[in-house]
Structure 1
Amino acid sequence: MKMNWKQLAIALGLFLLGYFTFNGKLFAQSAPPAPALEKTRIALAVGGKNLFYYLPLTIAEQLGYFKDEGLQVEISDFAGGAKALQAMIGGSADVVSGAYEHTINMQAKGQAITAFVLQGRAPQIVLGVSNKTMPNYKSIADLKGKKIGVTAPGSSTSIMASFVLAKGGLKPSDVSFVGVGAGAGAVAAFRSGQIDAMANLDPVISMLEQKNEMRVIADTRTLKDTQSVFGGPMPAATLYASDAFLKKNPHTTQALTNAMVRALKWIQQAGPSDIIKVVPESYQLGDRALYLAAFMKVREAMSPDGLFPAAGPATALKTLQTFEPDLAGKTFDLSKTYTNEFVLKADAKYK
């Protein structure tokens, strides 16, 4: 049977859409099989999973997006991001849900770590002083010799606090950083006066603000505030792994990315009631209304698509070099600290 150009164009279009014709009847083609995963069981480390900073991870887990991709993800929750990084370096975790800055710090130590999906486009970290122990606070200089609570020394909260201190003329060694975690323990440490200031995230910060227990001196919960503090876009939570893992497990990495991008897109469409239904009750610190109010404060901090902004890595490097003299004279290849390769494929899948 001869076909004219119009019929040929229609047939080609149907074929590309996954259909073909036979004897005048339309049939669907079977979809090509998904590539086999190199590794289906993944050990993932995170520091402070209850925080909004890692909400996309929680959504992907709770809604079964990892399972839909054929993955069994076992999540270990640590007191802070630095501890999660240690788990991966030590070999007990394959992947980390943690701050982008760790990829730069590890490159400085000769270890190739690459972030492959962005969860947050603003750090959401807040530094505040105690109205109980520092009622007369006036400037950063007043923090000299004080105890500052962070999720864990070396974590993203410690990095943010160190940067704000440096801008105010203080070195990290001018204060004492105390690891207090990211939940009820952090609230208790602040309220009891064990620490004079704290760098932490929501819902912890909103709980202390609600009763006027904390005076905020630096805030990165919105894009505008992040720009004000860091002077540019600042990548926050990511999924990162060693280069060796990515090269050995590209299909598994793609599956992880697919699940996370799907979660990010779900968050963009979700309302407060949807969040409450999915997030474990224990994450809400006993106050559902406060939790929802805190979510609305940080919602824009969530990445809408998982892509790393072009100027973000340079902002992170500049931040670290401000207070870490060992990094000041070193040359970095920031292109090796992150990749958008997997996210671009995932975004195409979940348009």
Structure 2
Amino acid sequence: DRSFKSFADLKGLKIGVTAPNSSSHFFVLYLMAKAGLMPSDASFVGVGGGERAVEAMKTGEIDAISNLDPVITRLQRDGAIRIVVDSRLPRVNYGIFGGTNPAAVLYARQEFIAANPAAIQALVNAFYKTLRWIATATTDEIVDTVPVEYFLGDRAIYVKALKANLLVYSRTGIISRQGMNSALKMMATFDPDLLDKKIDLQRTFDDRFIKRAAVLFDDPTNSDLELDERRPEVDLSSFRD
């Protein structure tokens, strides 16, 4: 809609997000809060991250959308949307959040982590190896590993979407202190339960496993590989391929 001038114009709109309480939902809530709006000033519809989202936007079921690729690239190509903020661009993230803002992360309940350290380490190892591979692979090599169901019917769209996102992929998998603070600041703008709360971020972001993955695969790019002496050790011998 060409009449959109600021995030305050989101008031009263029906906004499509991947799912309630997802990162795409939180992103809109943060933008609304910065414009002085409350979460209740708009309505939200979970539309997923595939054809359903494309259809919802094109048929007018929703007025605006906060979503991921390849949905956004597809809608943009079809002339169905006008992008007003693009978090695929690092400079945009720095402008909005003052730095990086971790969104797609591996998370689990503390009880599960404590009871299943080998399973957690195996998952983190897989993610770490994938990130390192993505950093050196060609676009076609990456797309060749993706099931065709994710292409939204057009491989070229997925290729274009991937290229648009490569700059925001982590190379190390480590969430920086700035990233932790950025995530907390974002959440606190619209979640009253977090206002004026003292939260120890070191207890909510556990980087033991990603640091061990870097050591295990002998990667020199992680600058801080010391194990946290305050946490129990995990035997690495059972985590090798």
Q: By the TM > 0.5 criterion, same fold?
A: yes
Equivalent-residue separation in structure 1 for 2:106 and 2:140 (angstroms): 27
Alignment counterpart, residue 199 of structure 2, candidates 325, 332, 347? 332
CA-CA distance at 1:222 after TM superposition: 2.3
Instruction: Determine which structure has more spread, i.e. the larger CA radius of gyration.
Output: 1
Structure 2 counterpart of 1:274: 141
Structure 2 counterpart of 1:254: 121
Does residue 209 of structure 1 match 2:76? yes
Structure 1 counterpart of 2:17: 150
Does residue 197 of structure 1 match 2:58? no
Spell out, residue by residue over 1:26-70, the C-alpha distance to the aligned partner (whole angstroms, 9 max, x if none): xxxxxxxxxxxxxxxxxxxxxxxxxxxxxxxxxxxxxxxxxxxxx
Equivalent-residue separation in structure 1 for 2:112 and 2:130 (angstroms): 23
CA-CA distance at 1:329 after TM superposition: 2.2
Where do residues 65-76 of structure 1 align in structure 2 (5 Å cutoff)?
none
Q: Counterpart of 1:303 in structure 2: which amino acid?
A: S
CA-CA distance at 1:274 after TM superposition: 0.6
SS in 2 for 1:148: strand
Spell out, residue by residue over 1:155-190, the C-alpha distance to the aligned partner (whole angstroms, 9 max, x if none): 111100000111122111100111111100000000
Structure 2 counterpart of 1:141: 8
Alignment counterpart, residue 300 of structure 1, candidates 167, 184, 193? 167
Instruction: Mark the runs of 5 or more structure 1 residues left unpaired by the alignment.
Output: 1-133
How many equivalent pairs are there?
A: 218
SS in 1 for 2:161: helix
SS in 2 for 1:311: helix
Instruction: Mark the runs of 5 or more structure 2 residues left unpaired by the alignment.
Output: 220-241
CA-CA distance at 1:211 after TM superposition: 2.3
SS in 1 for 2:106: strand
Alignment counterpart, residue 112 of structure 2, candidates 242, 245, 253? 245
Structure 2 counterpart of 1:235: 102
Q: Counterpart of 2:199 in structure 1: which amino acid?
A: F
Equivalent-residue separation in structure 1 for 2:11 and 2:103 (angstroms): 27
Alignment counterpart, residue 319 of structure 1, candidates 186, 198, 206? 186
Q: Counterpart of 1:283 in structure 2: which amino acid?
A: Y
CA-CA distance at 1:252 after TM superposition: 2.1
Q: Counterpart of 2:147 in structure 1: which amino acid?
A: P
Spell out, residue by residue over 1:296-341, the C-alpha distance to the aligned partner (whole angstroms, 9 max, x if none): 1100211111111121111111111112222112221111111211
Spell out, residue by residue over 1:209-244, the C-alpha distance to the aligned partner (whole angstroms, 9 max, x if none): 112221111221122211111122211211111111
Equivalent-residue separation in structure 2 for 1:246 and 1:287 (angstroms): 39
Equivalent-residue separation in structure 1 for 2:45 and 2:107 (angstroms): 26
Aligned-pair Cα RMSD in Å: 1.2
SS in 2 for 1:206: helix
Does residue 188 of structure 1 match 2:60? no
Structure 1 counterpart of 2:46: 179
Contact 1:164–1:218 at 8 Å: present in 2 too? no
Spell out, residue by residue over 1:142-163, the C-alpha distance to the aligned partner (whole angstroms, 9 max, x if none): 2211100011111111100000
Equivalent-residue separation in structure 2 for 1:337 and 1:323 (angstroms): 19
CA-CA distance at 1:276 after TM superposition: 2.2
Contact 1:219–1:229 at 8 Å: present in 2 too? no
Where do residues 217-232 of structure 1 align in structure 2 (5 Å cutoff)?
217-232=84-99
Q: TM-score, structure 2 length as denominator?
A: 0.87
Where do residues 18-33 of structure 1 align in structure 2 (5 Å cutoff)?
none
CA-CA distance at 1:136 after TM superposition: 2.2
Question: When you count strand as a share of all residues, which structure comes out higher?
Answer: 1
Equivalent-residue separation in structure 2 for 1:199 and 1:302 (angstroms): 19
Equivalent-residue separation in structure 2 for 1:308 and 1:143 (angstroms): 31
Contact 1:150–1:157 at 8 Å: present in 2 too? yes
Equivalent-residue separation in structure 2 for 1:243 and 1:341 (angstroms): 13
Spell out, residue by residue over 1:255-310, the C-alpha distance to the aligned partner (whole angstroms, 9 max, x if none): 11111111111111111111221100010101111211110110021111111112
Q: TM-score, structure 1 length as denominator?
A: 0.60
Equivalent-residue separation in structure 2 for 1:323 and 1:254 (angstroms): 33
Identical aligned residues as a percent? 44
Where do residues 4-23 of structure 1 align in structure 2 (5 Å cutoff)?
none
